[in-house]
Amino acid sequence: MSQSEAVWVVDDDQSIRWVLERALSRAEIPVRTFENATDLLKAIKRERPAAIISDIRMPDMDGFELLASVQSDYPELPVIIMTAHSDMDSAVSAFESGAFEYLPKPFDINEATDLTRRALEHTKSQRKTSQTETEPQVMNQSGIIGKSLAMQGVFRAIGRLSKSSISVLITGESGTGKELVAAALHEHSPRSDKPFIAINTAAIPKELLESELFGHEKGAFTGAHALRKGRFEQANHGTLFLDEIGDMSADLQTRLLRVLADGKFYRVGGHVPVDVDVRVVAATHQNLEDRVREGLFREDLFHRLNVIRVQIPPLRERSSDIPLLLNHFLQRASEDLQVECKVLLPEVSDYLQTLPWRGNVRQLENISRWMTVMASGRDITMDDLPPELMDVEEVVSSGDWRTLLSHEIQRRLNAGETRVLDDLTPEFEKLALEVALQKTAGRKKDAADLLGWGRNTLTRKLKDIYPDSD
């Protein structure tokens, strides 16, 4: 069988094939396209490509079936899986099935090209070392919701870590769902059939946290009437999630470092070491590098925890996920409260996507429950929103011009105005013109260049805005 340097693309959508063929050709990457997986498998018996880019949903054979066939016969051949269903389960499924990478649709051409180059580099390396992939692992379902681009990095990280028990540090603002990600890391790991134990270290007084983590012997202190196993022992062979690790006291940081390094510890009041095999996933909303520099967090413990870092985006950076999350939370609230599921009117959904959501997903969930209880009818209108979501100061303090503009449009629409762009567009152009002229000290040609206008256009705009000007 001959080996080709070409990338093979298989997708029943002709437009996708055309876009990828054109993009890769422009990048000087040889490419060959197929309409279905069957034709590709026939061709691969005569010639082996350097990489494959495959859609998942195809009529005769889907992408996972193709991937399984390729993995069986050519395990070193990288396969990039494309899918329009850019959720975490699709990402993890792709990686678990042995895919080299996961490309959500609609994709960015530059990203697709970069992933392809990485696959080609992988092939070159594989041909030198003759390394093979490990067998795919069966995965469990997860409850993380999100299809935004901001969540794709999280899904990829969970997929790549699915065969590992390495330590992970999850960072992100409060309420972003760090424990959900930790649980997903456990569910998609070799330890999935063992315990997942979660503890919020900031919620327990520091004088009790040591016993909570490491347990205590009978009689270790007043009230210790019996031996008690701590969270480390309860999580043996499984995963221990330590939330808000940045608030841990210096003494406990030292004890934690020792158990991470040695795999053994002493219960409070104990003299016999206890051996454990625990994967630690830690999380914090704080900047641990800053706390290390301030002397508030041990640098050696930071490096021990920060083997792999997963950054969870705040809700304001994944606003396209808000309708999905709202539908999920409203459905769950209706089930919990045994009432009819409420439905957001489109204008309400659009408005909620413009808010800063400082409490992130947790705040959104609480608001969904509030609306389920307080909305008078089945449809949730703007009048049904809680007062704090209509607070202009809350929106203004977010500091994002898109949020401010969206709020202004929403205000005008709520007031019954029509043709709002007839008023807003001239105001926007006037503001841009004034700022540009201020920047150029009144030089019209330079201001026109900054705005992307011709000199005549700028002069005309000035005349429209300031009819009495020269």
Amino acid 132: pLDDT = 34
Mean pLDDT for 285-302 is 93
Task: Write the DSSP string, 262-328.
Answer: HSEE--BT--S-EE---EEEEEESS-HHHHHHTTSS-HHHHHHHTTEEEEPPPGGGGGGGHHHHHHH
User: For residues 410 and 336, which has the higher predicted lDDT (pLDDT)?
Assistant: 336
Whole-angstrom Cα distance, residue 142 to residue 184?
Answer: 6
Q: Quick check: 401 pLDDT over 60?
A: yes
Same fold for the domain at 7-125 and the one at 161-311?
yes
Amino acid 121: pLDDT = 83
Q: Is 72 exposed, middle or buried (0-12, 13-18, 19+ CB in 10 A)?
A: exposed
The pLDDT confidence band at residue 454, using thresholds 50, 70 and 90, is confident
Q: Quick check: 263 pLDDT over 50?
A: yes
Mean pLDDT for 54-83 is 86
pLDDT in tens, 42-54: 899 888 899 999 9
Amino acid 350: pLDDT = 87
Mean pLDDT for 355-383 is 89
DSSP state of 59: S
Q: Quick check: 140 pLDDT over 50?
A: no
Mean pLDDT for 69-75 is 82
Amino acid 133: pLDDT = 35
pLDDT in tens, 320-365: 889 989 999 999 999 888 888 999 988 888 888 888 888 999 999 9
Amino acid 228: pLDDT = 83
Q: Quick check: 395 pLDDT over 60?
A: no
Return the CATH number of the domain spanning residue range 401-465: 1.10.10.60
Amino acid 377: pLDDT = 82
Q: Which fold has domain 7-125?
A: Rossmann fold (3.40.50)
Whole-angstrom Cα distance, residue 51 to residue 100?
Answer: 9
pLDDT in tens, 190-229: 998 999 999 999 888 877 888 889 988 887 777 777 888 8
Return the CATH number of the domain spanning residue range 161-311: 3.40.50.300
Q: Quick check: 452 pLDDT over 80?
A: yes
The values of phi and psi at residue 309, to 5°, are -115, 135
Identify any residues that bridge with 31 across adjacent strands, giving them in sequence order.
7
pLDDT in tens, 17-27: 999 999 999 88
User: For residues 255 and 86, which has the higher predicted lDDT (pLDDT)?
Assistant: 255
Q: Quick check: 285 pLDDT over 90?
A: yes
The overall average pLDDT reported for the chain is 83
Nearest CA-CA partner of 123 in 46, 38, 29: 29
The values of phi and psi at residue 68, to 5°, are -65, -40
Q: Long-range contacts made by residues 100-108, C-beta under 8 angstroms, separation at least 24?
A: 100/51, 102/152, 102/155, 102/156, 102/159, 103/53, 104/147, 104/149, 104/152, 105/16, 107/82
**Domain residue extents for the chain:** 7-125, 161-311, 316-394, 401-465
Q: Which fold has domain 316-394?
A: Helicase, Ruva Protein; domain 3 (1.10.8)
Amino acid 154: pLDDT = 86
pLDDT in tens, 75-85: 788 899 887 76
